[in-house]
Amino acid sequence: MNKLHLYSDQTLKLLRAKQDPLADRAVSVLLSDPNWAGEINQWKVLPGSLPPGMPVALADFFEFYYHSLGNPEPEKMLRARYFFEKKAKVYLSLLGFYALPYTYAFADGAQVLVRSKRIVEDTGRRLDETFYFVLEAFRPAAFLEQNETLLTAAKVRLIHAFSRYFVQKHAKDWDPAWGLPINQEDLLGTNLAFSLIVLRGFSKLGLAPCSEDVEAILYYWKYIGMANGVDTRYWPDNAKQAYWLEKRIRERHVRPSEAGRLLTRKLLAFYQHSLPNRLPRQVIDGIVAYFLGPQLSDAVGISSRVPIPDLVYGFIFNSNFFGPSGDLDTYAGMRRFFDAQTTKKYGQPLGLTIPELRMG
């Protein structure tokens, strides 16, 4: 299906006024009765059947995961997972050094991110949770059978809905010109950042993936996006469509903002003090600027004048984002390392929980 006609200013403007009603209605229930949030946080996987007495809006939300994801093409899903399996270390490094700061260059979308105190005040844990989500998304057999991935995606979707609720209720400085918080255009843009932009990072490292791998990764992220509440009627079916959708969203929203610059300062300061191999801030800025390019670097307030492609290549592949360790070039190796590191940091394996709060 040719979707290029969907990527007009008029359509994307309409998507800024659309959110995720299914998740928003579920969060209204969770705020009214936080005991349900507590029960959901006890689940390890989606249950075989929903608990008796679950309110309709909450049951409707979870029924989506049983009946509405459809049957993905196993060959494409397996190809995408094999790509990640062999390149997990680089994929996650590019997520940290390219995809995340890339999202901060989008001025309107950055406004909701900066109003999340956890992103600004607890950058390290928020970054770990992002890596955790991607690792969960590429878990073996994800989307081909019910397992932990679907529950993690459902929690992410509910966390987005909680964020929308609190921004709309408490952010008195919210400008309607920014669009509704965590709207469908921003969700599409974030999904592109975690897929197309990461693949673009591979190309910048001289490791351009083949067209079949690009198509498989985009297809895989369609299912991740669907599980996260993205309206995938607008999700690109091929690389050409992805190129034009990303280009249109970027042209509409990349510009300097204090929100984007604050998020970038916090992220890069965390890297400076927390990466296993300490590097001067100028070098870290240069690595990020190499991937972002001049326009996006300017938008997030970092210099793009440090020409260090050799250093970038060596850092990603030798020191890497996670430091010297054992087998980080497979999913299993990366997962073992990640779980061990986060357990050491937090005293238990990292996981996602939804807020257990009462409205009012």
**24-28, 103-107, 335-339 — which is least confidently predicted?**
335-339
Structure confidence at residue 325 (pLDDT):
59
CA distance 171 to 173: 5
**100-114, 151-165, 166-180 — which is least confidently predicted?**
166-180
pLDDT in tens, 272-300: 888 776 777 888 898 899 899 999 999 99
Report the amino acid identity of residue 14.
L
Give the pLDDT band (50/70/90) at residue 187.
very high
Per-residue pLDDT at 208 exceeds 90: yes
As a whole number, mean pLDDT of residues 70-87 equals: 93
CA distance 173 to 62: 33
Going from the C-alpha of 40 to that of each of 13, 48, 76, 350, the distances in angstroms are 35, 13, 31, 16
The dihedral formed by the CA atoms of 312, 316, 318 and 319, expressed in degrees to the nearest 10: 100
Residues 6+ apart with CB under 8 A from 2: 241
pLDDT in tens, 225-263: 999 999 999 999 999 999 999 999 999 999 999 999 999
Helix 74-94 and helix 331-346: axis angle, to 10°?
A: 50
Structure confidence at residue 322 (pLDDT):
66
Cβ of 62: how many Cβ atoms within 10 Å?
19
Which pTM does this prediction carry?
Answer: 0.94
Per-residue pLDDT at 326 exceeds 90: no
As a whole number, mean pLDDT of residues 147-174 equals: 93
